[in-house]
Amino acid sequence: MADVQIVGLRKAFGPTVAVDDFTLSVADGEFVALLGPSGCGKTTVMRMISGITDADQGQVILSGQRIDALMPERRNIGLVFQSYALFPHMSVARNVAFGLRMRRWPAADIAAKVAQTLALVDLSGHADRLPRELSGGQQQRVALARAIAIEPPLLLLDEPLSNLDAKLREQLRDDLKALQRRLGITTIHVTHDQSEAMALADRVVVMNAGAIVEIGTPRDLYQTPRTRFSAEFLGHTNVIPARVQSGRMITDWGQFVGVAPTGAGTVQLSVRPEDLGLTAADQGAGEVTEVTFLGPEVEHRVTIGGLTLRSRSSGKDAVVHAKGTRVVLAFPSDLHLLAEWGGA
């Protein structure tokens, strides 16, 4: 059972606290993404798990054993770097074989494992090439092969796809997911790209300023985020403040249909652009200020009651309104409220 328990990890560099009280449980075979902006501490967490950086406090327990006091070479964790970090003076095969040589595997077993792993990442013909002769995508696959060849219980990926161009990134993303499913390795993936996190992960850990903001499945995080930060980080959203009055949520320009929370005060609604509909109406409170054709979607920007909201519709039959059209907005029936403390 290669499960991972991370308890209370903390790291400070001088007066700056990079990671504060990071606690996470990862199940065997689970794919978890650490998602957040630059400087949120996600890479520091990864480096503490792998042993590159010493934690000030906290524990890391892998398969029931504490590893945080071990030297990096004893932790048996596969690492894939953003820079690939392939050994430039070794061939692809020797790169992949390196970890096995360090474990003193017999030569024949090494050769077999290398061949098998290269086949898994679809690089069988390139065994004798040098890293500099390979493309970025191929180098990344070698880095992956090198990490999984040692059959680690845990795989750590540090923004492995960031250096690749968009199309290649998507392709490798799919390959990565398929590979992980097939091998069933517990994986923690660090990234700042929310679409990547959502596409790959079983669960996403949203981080900001050294702390965990929210944890959830991609779908839950996207559709019902608890905090404004998560809502705005995972794709676009419209945040609408509303007042609660006698069981209803109202704004200056309209009332919401739906059950309001009890009590009084203000709430924040989060509505995704694709869930916000527009209908042209002469007396509409909103006005279209900008229309952008994005390819798969059309985005309308609407000013209403002092707010600027975005609405997106897809497909070739989507209605396109001209600038200046007055519109009414259509909201989904189950509105999502952000938890109050999560305000950005």
Could you list the residues that contact another protein (CB under 8 A)? 50-54, 71-79, 81, 83, 85, 87-89, 98-99, 102-103, 146-147, 150
- Minimum gap (Å) between residue 68 Cβ and another protein: 12
**Among 58, 80, 83, residue whose Cα is nearest residue 189:** 80
Closer residue to another protein, CB minimum distance, 41 or 78:
78
Closer residue to another protein, CB minimum distance, 149 or 338:
149
Closer residue to another protein, CB minimum distance, 81 or 253:
81
**Among 185, 148, 150, 177, residue whose Cα is nearest residue 161:** 177
- Minimum gap (Å) between residue 54 Cβ and another protein: 6
Closer residue to another protein, CB minimum distance, 46 or 260:
46
209 near 232, Cβ under 8 Å? no
Closer residue to another protein, CB minimum distance, 132 or 316:
132
- Minimum gap (Å) between residue 148 Cβ and another protein: 11
- Minimum gap (Å) between residue 86 Cβ and another protein: 8
- Minimum gap (Å) between residue 78 Cβ and another protein: 7
